[in-house]
Amino acid sequence: MIEFADVSVEKNGVPILKDITVRLSERRIGVIGRNGSGKSTFARLFNGIEAPSAGTVTLNGVTERKALRRHVGFVFQNPDNQIVYPIVSEDLAFGLKNLKLPRDETQARIDEVLARFDLAHLRDRFTHQLSGGEKQMVALAGVLVMRPTMIVLDEPTTLLDLWNKRKFMAAIDALDEPVVVVSHDLDLLGHFDRVLHIEDGSIAGDGRPGPVLARYVAGSQC
């Protein structure tokens, strides 16, 4: 379970998130909101990329930022900004090297994650030559290979075509780990357990997807 207690974030004196208090224990959680509402900042608090100006973020008793990022994997909108090494297998090994895992275990984990997502044929490919869908899958694999407790994805399907979006979301749905997805694509979140609507730095809606998404859509009518 992850808990936000009176969390606020301020940047250059501008409040981005205001007194967020929420407990999240569901397996599939969606986060929606307008551009600039603070939802990406909210997502970045999960694994300590962002630090709260006030309040605490606690995952299963862990509050320290460095520990949080070991437990929470983060997938960015643009995989080009997430993939660090030029060859797929090297990139998958990057996070594991940072965890100081032995070479044998690193290779075993890479083999396992590549097989899990049917990506073994990409092992020795140059990352910049992959399609957008393949890159996003490699970015996800690079996170999962570190075996996080929880995974947060920030608009992961924005740059994908319909086919790759479906394939990617099928992979997400199949994950055992708890997942938080920030998205403008409301169709993705319809079957989730819970949806948070962030508006102007606060939680404006929280509950089952049906009513939260319906209110959000109604509020967007011009």
Partner 1 sequence: MLTDLYVFGDSPLHRTRPVVKITALVVFCSTLFIVEGWASVLVAGALVVTGFAVAGLKPRHAFVSVRPALWILAAIFAVQAYLTDVVFAGFVVARFVVLILAAALVTLTTRTSEFVDGILSALTYAPAWVPKEQIALAISLCLRFIPLVRAVLEDVRQAQSARGLDRNLTALLVPLVVRTLKTADEVSQAVYSRSFD
Where do contacts with partner 1 occur on this chain (CB under 8 A)? 44, 47, 49, 66, 69-70, 73-74, 76, 78, 80-87, 90, 93-95, 98-99, 124, 126-129, 142-143, 146
- Where do runs of H (alpha helix) occur along the chain? 39-46, 65-71, 88-98, 103-116, 132-144, 162-173, 209-219
Minimum distance, C-beta of residue 61 to partner 1, in the bound complex (Å):
19
31 contacts 182 by C-beta, under 8 angstroms: yes
Output 135 or 197, the one with its CB closest to partner 1.
135
Output 49 or 203, the one with its CB closest to partner 1.
49
In 56-82, which positions are buried (b, 16+ CB within 10 angstroms) versus exposed (e)? ebebeebeeeeebbbbbbbbbbbbeeb
Output 51 or 214, the one with its CB closest to partner 1.
51
Minimum distance, C-beta of residue 206 to partner 1, in the bound complex (Å):
25
Minimum distance, C-beta of residue 168 to partner 1, in the bound complex (Å):
18
106 contacts 96 by C-beta, under 8 angstroms: yes
> In whole angstroms, what is the distance from residue 222 CA to residue 213 CA?
16
Output 44 or 194, the one with its CB closest to partner 1.
44
Minimum distance, C-beta of residue 89 to partner 1, in the bound complex (Å):
9
